[in-house]
Amino acid sequence: MASSQTVAPRTLPDWIRVRPPSGPAYPEVRSLLAAHRLGTVCQEARCPNLPECWSAGTATLMLLGTDCTRRCAFCAVNTHWPRGQVDDTEPARVADAVRAWGLRYVVLTQVCRDDLDDGGAAVLASTVRSIRSRSPGTLVELLIGDLAGREDSLRTVIASEPDVLAHNLETVRRLSPSIRDHRAAYDQSLSVLDQSKRLGRPAQVTKSSIMLGLGETDEELRGAFRDLRAAGVDLLTLGQYLRPSALHTPVVRYPTPEEFATLRQLAVSEGFSGVESGPLVRSSYRAEELYRSAVGARKA
């Protein structure tokens, strides 16, 4: 899947098609989110799987507001400096929504909050604990930023004992400086994942995600897979980067579904317990199924 740096055509290939919302769960999810004043990464990041996931009764909740202090070249989330403002009611509102929703599995993510001394770790941990209290049967996946590399912040998050602790590598080493905000770094992300495994419970499941179509090569992807496995990462998702607007970094190419399938086999051969790979796969896509594959692999 070697790639040149030419820009891909604007027309999407036939295998990238987003279905319209359908099913009774879609309006229910929309109403529940509005009633509890909750943001979702589905909306803020313009996820192509929103119709499928919401129609199935699932969504990925975004914590610490909907404005990010960073500006990555691939991301549609609004950039703003909130000046330390935090909504103290958010953990309870999220937990109440999860209970009302009756979720077996919930994915929580965050905007980066470099304006907070702990990067928002206290709010993340409080939200996990609130869900545990109000909905003890719900499994919780927490997708965090790098928390500016602060070990004390990471310890705060780990102490809340999410079932899955995720952090996205996003891209290969060579492309990371041009794709991600200057405060993010490839090695810092690997360190967050490595520490999440070392500092967490023995059974702590960790997870990461990589976007394809930015100009990476097969050999660079293999190197990223090996770096993630060296950091102890259990689960991996691979998906197509889709340009949110003309202001964002362009797509270099659209790997075919067959190429994604080949990369999945390559990642599995590197030792990941579970891999989701496909053009419309995102970090929280079919998260519960992927988590259970990791648990099953440990029992085997």
- Structure confidence by residue, pLDDT tens digits, 265-277: 999 999 999 999 9
In sequence order, which residues have a C-beta less than 8 Å from that of residue 298 and are 6 or more positions away?
203, 273
Specify whether the CB–CB gap between 238 and 277 falls below 8 A. Answer: yes
CATH number, domain containing residue 188: 3.20.20.70
Asked if residue 45 belongs to a domain, the reply is yes
Residue 90 domain boundaries: 25-299
Q: Tell me the C-alpha distance between 179 and 267, whole Å.
A: 22
What pLDDT sits at residue 294? 80
Whether 291 and 205 have beta carbons less than 8 Å apart is answered as yes
Mean pLDDT of 213-220: 97
How many domains does the chain contain in total? 1
| Sign of the alpha-carbon dihedral angle for 231, 237, 241, 244 | negative
Query: Looking at the domain assignment, is residue 187 inside a domain?
Result: yes
C-alpha span between 55 and 36 (Å, rounded): 19
Please determine, for residue 53, whether its predicted confidence score (pLDDT) is greater than 80: no
* Domain-located, residue 267: yes
Is 18 inside any structural domain? no
With respect to residue 5, please indicate whether it lies within any of the assigned structural domains.
Answer: no
Q: Which residues contact 171 (CB under 8 A, 6 or more apart)?
A: 179, 180, 210, 211, 214, 216, 224
- 16 occurs within a structural domain: no
Question: Do 167 and 145 form a contact (C-beta atoms < 8 A)?
Answer: yes
* pTM for this entry: 0.89
Q: Is the pLDDT of residue 158 over 90?
A: yes
Where residue 92 falls among pLDDT bands split at 50, 70, 90?
Answer: very high
Is 1 among the domain residues?
no
> Is residue 20 domain-resident?
no
| Main-chain dihedrals φ then ψ at residue 230, nearest 5 degrees | -65, -25
